[in-house]
Structure 1
Amino acid sequence: MHIPFSFRRLIRSSLIAGGLALASSALWAHGDVTPQAVDTKTLPQLGAKWLPSNPYNTGPAFKEALRIGTSAYNQNCARCHGLEAISGGIAPDLRKMDTDCTGMADEAKKNACFAEMDEYYVATVRRGRTRDGRVYMPPFEATLSQEAIWAIRTYLETRREK
C-alpha cells in the first residue's frame, strides 16, 4: 500500500507532537516549577536585616516554623531535592547538609560549624548556585521571605540523618 508523502509527514508530525506532549506531561508530574510564595504571618516577623542563624529551631515558634517549613519545602524544594529531603540524585540530599557538624565532640566547634552551614544555606537559597554559566539552583530571594527560608531550614534540621 502506498502512503502519500504529505500523509507520512502528517503522521510523523503527529507522532512528534504526541511525544512532546507526553514528555511535557512527565515534566509537570513533579508539579509547577514556578517558585511558590509562603504565608508566614503566623511566625514572629524578623525584619529586613538577615539573621545569621535560624531563630526558629528552638523556642515557642518551633512547631509553627516546622509546619510552615514542611509545606514550603514540599512546594519549592522537593521537586529537585526529593520528598522528605531524600534526594533522588538530581540535587544534594539535604538531610546530609550538616553531617560534618553533627559528629563533632567539641561543642564550640560544632556550634561554629552549624553557624557556617546556616550562612551557606541562606546564601544558596537567596542567590542560587551557578557553575560554568549553568544554573544548578535558582535564586529564591524574590519569592521567599527570611521567615520562609528559616522555616524551611527548621524542617531540614528535623530531617538530618542520625
Structure 2
Amino acid sequence: MNNKNVLRALLAAGVFGMAGLVLAHGDVTPQKVETTGLPDLGDEWLDENPFRGDSEYHDRAVEIGASAYNQNCARCHGLEAISGGIAPDLRMLEPTIDGDDWFKERVINGAVRDGAVYMPRMADYLSQEALWAIRTYIESVAPQE
C-alpha cells in the first residue's frame, strides 16, 4: 500500500469512527422521575410552582428536581442549569408566576422551529410533580440578586 492509500484508509476510518460516536449518543427519550415524597398535583396543571419558597415540600422538590434535571435537561440546558449557549439559561427565568408561565408553556408544548424539534413536550413524559420539582431545583441554583 502506498502512502496515499494509507492516508485515505485512516481518513475513512476516522470519519466512520466519528459517525459511530454520533449514532452512539443514545436514547434521548426523557427518563422517568420518581416523585415519592411530593403530593399528587392531579391532571390539571397549576398556574404557579407549588414547591416554591415556604412550601413544606420545597427541600424534597429540590432534591428530586436536581436528579430529574441532570437526567433530562442538562444535556441541552447545561450542568447545574448553567447554559453553554445552545439552549436558554433557565436560571434567568423570573422566580414568579411570570417565569412559571414560560416554563409551563415550554414543558407542555415543547419548542419546534421550522419543523425541527428543539425541545420535546416534556409533559408527555414527566409528571407535573416532576416538572415543578425541576423548576424548583432551577430556582435553587439561580444567581441571587
Considering the TM-score relative to the shorter chain, is it more than 0.5?
A: yes
What residue is the counterpart of 1:127 in the other structure? 109
CA distance in 2 between partners of 1:160 and 1:10 (Å): 49
CA-to-aligned-CA distance 1:17-57 (integer Å, 9 cap, x gap): 223224445xx3xx752210101132111111111101111
For structure 2, the 5+ residue unaligned runs are none
Shift of 1:8: 9.6
What residue is the counterpart of 2:38 in the other structure? 43
Q: Secondary structure at the match of 2:117?
A: strand
Among candidates 19, 29, 32, match of residue 34 of structure 1: 29
Cα distance change of structure 1 residues 145 and 21 upon mapping to structure 2, 3 Å threshold? same
For structure 1, the 5+ residue unaligned runs are 103-113
Return the TM-score normalized by structure 1.
0.76
Q: Secondary structure at the match of 1:59?
A: coil
Which amino acid in structure 1 is aligned with residue 37 of structure 2?
A: T
CA-to-aligned-CA distance 1:66-117 (integer Å, 9 cap, x gap): 100000000000000000110111101111122xxx7xxxxxxxxxxx2122
Paired positions, count: 142
What residue is the counterpart of 1:117 in the other structure? 99
Cα distance change of structure 1 residues 137 and 22 upon mapping to structure 2, 3 Å threshold? closer
The answer to whether the aligner puts 1:55 opposite 2:50 as a matched pair is: yes
Shift of 1:127: 1.4
Structure exhibiting the larger radius of gyration computed from Cα positions: 1
CA distance in 1 between partners of 2:21 and 2:44 (Å): 45
Q: Secondary structure at the match of 1:63?
A: helix
Which amino acid in structure 2 is aligned with residue 80 of structure 1?
A: C
What residue is the counterpart of 2:85 in the other structure? 89
Cα RMSD (Å) of the superposition? 2.5
Which amino acid in structure 2 is aligned with residue 143 of structure 1?
A: Y
